[in-house]
Structure formats: C-alpha cells, structure tokens
Structure 1
C-alpha cells in the first residue's frame, strides 16, 4: 500500500512554486543571482537558497526582490502566495487587515495565469458573474461580519475588474452552482433578479460553461464546501474563517473527482436556463 503524503506536502509544494515564480521574475529582468544579491544588499548565496526553496522567504524579501526586478506590481500577489505557503490554511483576518480591496486584487495574476478554471459554488453566485449591486451587498455583509476596515466600494471595483478574464483569449471556465444559490436573496429581491438576468447573459460567453445542480437531484455526491480549481496545480477552498490552498497531489485528485461527480448531477444549456428563469419568475411573482 502506498504511503500517505506528508501533512506538510502542500506547504512544501507551495513554497517551491513561490521560489519558481521569484526565479522567473529575476530571469525576466535579465539579472544574475549575483546582480540581484548586490541590488538587495544580501549575501550572494541567499538568492540561490531562496530559489531552491531551501531558505524560507519573508514578506520583506519579496518586496526587496520585486523592487530589484522592477516588478513591484507583483508584490501583493506574491505575498498572498507566501501566506498560503506558510501553512496552506490562512485566516481571513490575516488576508484582510486593511479591508477587502487588496485581497480582490491579489487574485488577478492567478486568474490571468490559469487556463482552465473550475468553480463549485454552493452558497453565492460565483464572483466572476457578480453584478455591481450583488457584489456590494455580499462584500458589505462580509465586512460587517468580520469587523474589518470598510473599503467596500474599492473592493467592488477590484472584484468587477477581474471579469475581464472571461472575455480574454486562452481561458476556459466551468462553473457548477447549487440551485439553492439562485434563491438566496443577497441584497434583496431586486438585486437578485438583476443578478440572475446577468448570469443568463454571461452563460452565452464562448469561454464559459455553467451547470446548475437541481435541488431535487438524486445525490450520490453530497454538497461540499465551495472550491475553485486552478488548472491542475492548486485548489482554493473557502471556509468561514480561512482560505485553504491545496497543492498536494493526493488531495488535488480528491477535489478533481468531487468536481467530476458534482458535474454529473448538473443540468446545462436549456436545462440550466430554465432553473434560473424559474427563480426569476418566483421573484417577479412576489
């Protein structure tokens, strides 16, 4: 029987991925390891140790590295990756110390790198489909519940800006939504109605496939926590208190299988549209 993977395997994989990204930035900047060390004021061996994931990298190291490579726009994203690498389980309060805007922006490079995104959402309309009003209502609720600084308006703009990946080339998206999500009145009836109409429109995008899992479907696969699969390299799982990043191969396979099993329960095309229109008709009848 094969041995179980180490509990730290996801953490180690995340650290290696971060080290690879730092090396790519250095090479793109056409700097040698010695050049970067001199610019950073470090011992010449530190760059090599970081790139081999032998020496843990700090937030200060990332900032210095990016400044030397003139890629300051990558700092927030790399810091978010570092936080995931530090444990795979990162509390939202650590990711949102100044509000929600920076966290929304930090996902952009990951979204842009991902060629194949798979999203399972049992609670809310997926973020890439959200309207201004729906996103505002949701982010206001999160801000209030977590008692964090209120930068909702800036966070809404940052979240909506991520939508551009839906219409840029080279991306494929598959979304699975539990039918109950279509009836959860985030922001109230009028906001939800506008959101459902917007969802119907976005479903026509050539890069997008949307499946809705009917509430009365026979369930060999039960509803699980919401998660997003980025290509075949990592999964993000959103818990009430934390974001979990999964990179260990054995764990990834489990999420791939869960997505496939949930996909088999969903209806697509006209069937999905009919369920969305049913929810719209109920809203309009009230």
Structure 2
C-alpha cells in the first residue's frame, strides 16, 4: 500500500505547487507552453501544479528558468525539501537496522530543554528498561524485515535515556492505562518495566501521568507524539514518522497535550494503577 503524507506535509507541498503556478501565470505562460519550455509532457505541469507529484530540484530549476524567475530557485527548493522531509517512512529510517536510528536522535535531545511525550500504546523510549526494549525492538525488526542489531540498538536507547538525569531538562510523560497492560516481552520484562516506572516518578526532572480507563475524559486517545520545546513535534505512525514544524500546528499538539494532561492522574493514583497492572505479571 502506498504511504499517504500527513495533512501537514500535504499542506506544505500544496504551498510549493501554488507558488509554481503563480510563477507560470505571472510569466504569461499556459501549462502547455511551460511544458514545452521545460521539455516534458503537459500532464506533468498539471500534476506539479496540483501537488499530485512533488517536484524534483531539477523540475524547480527548469520551471523557474522557463518563467524567468531564477531568483526563486533556492527558496522553492528549500520549501520543497522541507515539505517532503516532514513525512519520513520508517523503512527509510530503519533500512540499515535500529542502532543508527537510535543514535540519530542524540543531537535533537541535546538541544532540547523541555520534553513532552504522549503514548497510547507502549512505554516511551526514554523510560524503557533493557528487557522491554529488547522485546519491542525485536518485534519491530521482525515486522520490518531489517538487519538484526537489536542488542546494539538497546544499548544506544539505554544510553540516550541518561538525559533524564540532567537537571537542566524537564520531562512530562503521559501514557494511557493500556500501556501498563499491553504485554511487551515476558512477565519478568513487564514486571521490571513497571517497577522502573514507579522509580522514575521520583526523579525531579520527570512528571509521569497515567490516563485511566475508567475516568471520563475530554479528548480521545491520539497517536504517539513527542514535543521538543515549542519547536518541533514528531508523530509516530505505522508507516512513518511525521515532523511538524509549523507554529500553528505545534500549538494544536500542545493544546491536545494539555487536554490529555488534565485527564491524567499522578502520584499515588498513578502508582495504584501501576500496582494493579503489576499484579497481572507477578
């Protein structure tokens, strides 16, 4: 099945397509005339202008040259690359295994002071214990059919989690109660993982909220998302990771996160939910 770009990526792609169309109109060219000047079929011009096909760098250069707008090339190429990089398929990021992917996040973590993480289905990577991470990454490796470097990837994930103990950072985690009960790995792995959640709750840099099954809530469960300061949101889908950088869209995710936070419980109530889930794995 082909991957479908996120609404954010589609909107960014459409903005590039609109600008290309404006340049053609400003140059007084028909779609067929532009196609002739660029040396391609007129149908390609239509596909590019309607954002059905993303333009290559060479397409943009040819288009701007035909419209006498070479000064627009650099900005349009940058905008087009940004639009396409918003939606990155996991198969591209994971094709050489998982260790390199784990390490690729380190620069982003180093430059971030405030982390906000919501997960509806698994323990966030920052909080994963080795046995739990091994079971999860092994499942991903098998499902994707990628090289098996799980042991090295778990080591890299565990190492990067040391940012939790850096006093100049803050972490706000929200998890659905289902996270405590979905079995990833064997009983021992789950028991160890839940014990770890109890312990990290006491860290001064960490806030951990659990959204109960039973309480009424004002917002539905969403896809997993990671908010880095107020600058970037990464959304995890089955096929891809979507990077959101538009300020208005980041604001929407922050608003949703705050709504989810109001539905969560903390402290003793959160520990009680963890303890209840632990009984199933005793």
Q: 2:110 aligns with which of 105, 109, 112?
A: 112
Partner of 1:259: helix, strand, or coil? helix
Aligned to 1:260: 258
Q: Select 2:11's aligned residue among 7, 27, 32.
A: 7
In structure 2, which of residues 249, 253, 263 is the aligned counterpart of residue 251 of structure 1? Answer: 249
Give the whole-Å Cα distance in 2 for the aligned partners of 1:93 and 1:5: 18
Runs of 4+ in 1 over 2 A off after TM superposition: 9-12, 53-57, 82-87
Instruction: Specify whether residues 190 and 107 from structure 1 end up closer, same or farther in structure 2 by C-alpha distance, changes over 3 A only.
Output: same
Match of 2:71 in 1: none
Offset, 1:249: 1.4
CA RMSD in angstroms comes to: 2.5
Q: 1:12-51 alignment to 2 at 5 Å?
A: none
Other-structure match for 1:185: 183
| Selected match of 1:205 from 203, 206, 221 | 203
Change (3 A) 1:93 1:180: same
Asked whether the 8 Å contact 2:175–2:209 carries over to 1, the reply is: yes
Structure 1 match to 2:44? none
- Unaligned 5+ residue runs, structure 1? 13-52, 58-81
Tell me the equivalent position of 2:141: 143
Scaled by the length of structure 1, the TM-score of the pair is: 0.71
Give the match's secondary structure for 1:283: coil
- Structure 2: distance between partners of 1:277 and 1:187: 18
Matched residue SS, 1:86: helix
> How far apart in 2 are the matches of 1:220 and 1:198?
29
Residue of structure 1 in register with 2:31 after alignment: none
3-state SS in 2 of match to 1:225: coil
Aligned residues: 218
8 Å CA contact retained: 1:11, 1:87: no
Alignment CA distance shift 1:195-1:5 (3 Å)? closer
Conserved? CA contact 2:9–2:87, under 8 Å: no
Given that 1:120 and 1:175 are in contact with CA atoms closer than 8 Å, whether structure 2 keeps it comes out as yes
Structure 1 residue 89 corresponds to structure 2 residue 87: yes
TM-score by length of 2: 0.72
Q: Which has the larger radius of gyration?
A: 2
Q: Using the alignment, how far apart are the partners of 2:167 and 2:15 within structure 1?
A: 31
For residues 98 and 231 of structure 2, the distance between their equivalents in structure 1, rounded to whole angstroms, comes to 25
- Measure, in 2, the Cα distance between the counterparts of 1:135 and 1:6: 33
